[in-house]
Amino acid sequence: MRKVNVGILIFDMVELLDFAGPFEVFSRTRLTPGIEARRSEISAPLCVFTVSKSDKPITATGGLRIVPHFCFEAAPPIELLVIPGGVGTRTLLAERATLDWIRATAAQTKRVSSICTGSLLLARAGLLNGKRATTHWGALDLLQQISDSLQASIHVERSARVVDDGVITSAGISAGIDMAFYVVEQMFGKEIADETAHYMEYYRP
Amino acid sequence: MRKVNVGILIFDMVELLDFAGPFEVFSRTRLTPGIEARRSEISAPLCVFTVSKSDKPITATGGLRIVPHFCFEAAPPIELLVIPGGVGTRTLLAERATLDWIRATAAQTKRVSSICTGSLLLARAGLLNGKRATTHWGALDLLQQISDSLQASIHVERSARVVDDGVITSAGISAGIDMAFYVVEQMFGKEIADETAHYMEYYRP
């Protein structure tokens, strides 16, 4: 089975659950139900990997260190791009290499998604112009400010958990799990999404 | 403020969300509410770190590689021990070094907890003898078998999400997030737990 490449951006001070939640959902999705199917990659429809600016381990919030699978230059083609948030996004808002990579990758990918303040980076990269989008409740005003400063006309949704307006954005941290299930359902149907949630003992709100 | 040390065991093929969920909850708990408090460790009551048999990066399910904070020999005293699950537990059930470390650490810690099939390791280490306990729905029979083979008289709870019988065990994967909030509530009160859930935009079931 040809697998769909899911590339998750990671960086220093990425919020841990922002990316670990979707990583879990996407990497544990199986087209064959049950526990046994999770012991191998045979019926896994997605190939999930992390991408970072360099090959060096990054430090997530709380101090967990993660070894990225690929640096920007070495990443395989990405069909689903996932941009998590975290306090580290504030530095990246002014970092050209990362914004350029997001923009270039988004231009050749099928789906772009974000969790939490990851949407600030999408906004800054010009990918939310004229679109409805959301972010962590603590960053809604900042998303609006970025929109105003770039004259991007982003319609900031203040109470949605997942917003799909071509680009898929989600609310804070744990909302990324729901965003991931939303995408799995969109790609493979409700039965596959629900079975994966059952495997994870996760109650979708 | 003196911080309480939370040690999370990690190993090859640990289920990613099993440990990343509690890591997020414990490391993002603050005694001062709000977003700003999460920008520093000042009001963080817990110091969270990972412990592994060796210093080398481990590979979680789905292929994420994590650099442990400490190997067994170098770990600081642990006051809350967290044992996640994952298919990697099956190897560890016969691995003396890890079982000995769990047993020795549990003997000098205040709280012992597990997520998912982490309870199989606690059972095998003799820490669930005569206690009520749970695990992932796919491993309930295996927990009963381990209990029978060791004559450990574990009362396997088949529908609980979190079981506290001196040792705290929880159901599969995402149930670890609820277990972590349960412990935070026990240690610091419902207001602190709820505020942390609000920060994480997590709806406690």
Neighboring chain A residues of B64 at a CB cutoff of 8 Å = 20, 23, 27, 50, 66
Residue A161 placed within a domain: no
Counting the structural domains of chain A, the total is: 1
B204 within a domain of the structure (yes/no): no
Task: Supply the range of the domain harboring residue B122.
Answer: 4-199
Cross-chain residue pair B63–A57, CB shorter than 8 Å: no
Torsion of CA A88, A89, A93, A95, to 10 degrees: 50
Chain B residues lying within 8 Å of A23, measured CB to CB: 16, 62, 64
* Active site (annotated) includes residue B71: no
**Predicted-complex ipTM score:** 0.97
Has residue A154 been placed in a domain? no
> Does residue B205 lie in a domain region?
no
B166: in domain? yes
- The mean pLDDT value for A47-56 works out to 98
Q: pLDDT, tens digit, for every residue of B74-99?
A: 999 999 999 999 999 999 999 999 99
Residues contacting A82, CB < 8 A, separation 6+: A6, A7, A8, A9, A19, A22, A26, A113, A114, A115, A118
Cβ neighbours of A65 in B, within 8 Å? 66-67, 69
Q: Which of the four pLDDT bands, split at 50, 70 and 90, describes residue A100? A: very high
Whole-structure pTM value: 0.98
pLDDT digits (tens, 9 = 90+) for B104-124: 999 999 999 999 999 999 999
In a domain, A168, yes or no: no
Q: Which among A151, A85, A157, A96 has a CA at the least distance from the CA of A125?
A: A96
CATH number at residue B15: 3.40.50.880
Catalytic positions of A, written as ranges: 116
CA distance A173 to chain B (A): 5
- Residues A38 and A148: their CA atoms lie apart, in Å, by 46
pLDDT exceeds 90 at position B1: no
Residue B119: inside a domain: yes
CA distance A127 to chain B (A): 24
Pick the residue from chain A with its C-alpha nearest to B47. A62
Give the residue from chain A lying closest to B22, CA to CA: A17
Is residue A55 one of the residues assigned to a domain? yes
| pLDDT band, very low/low/confident/very high, at A129 (cuts 50, 70, 90) | very high
Beta A111-114 vs A80-83: how paired, if at all? parallel
From the CA of A25, how many Å to the nearest CA of chain B? 9
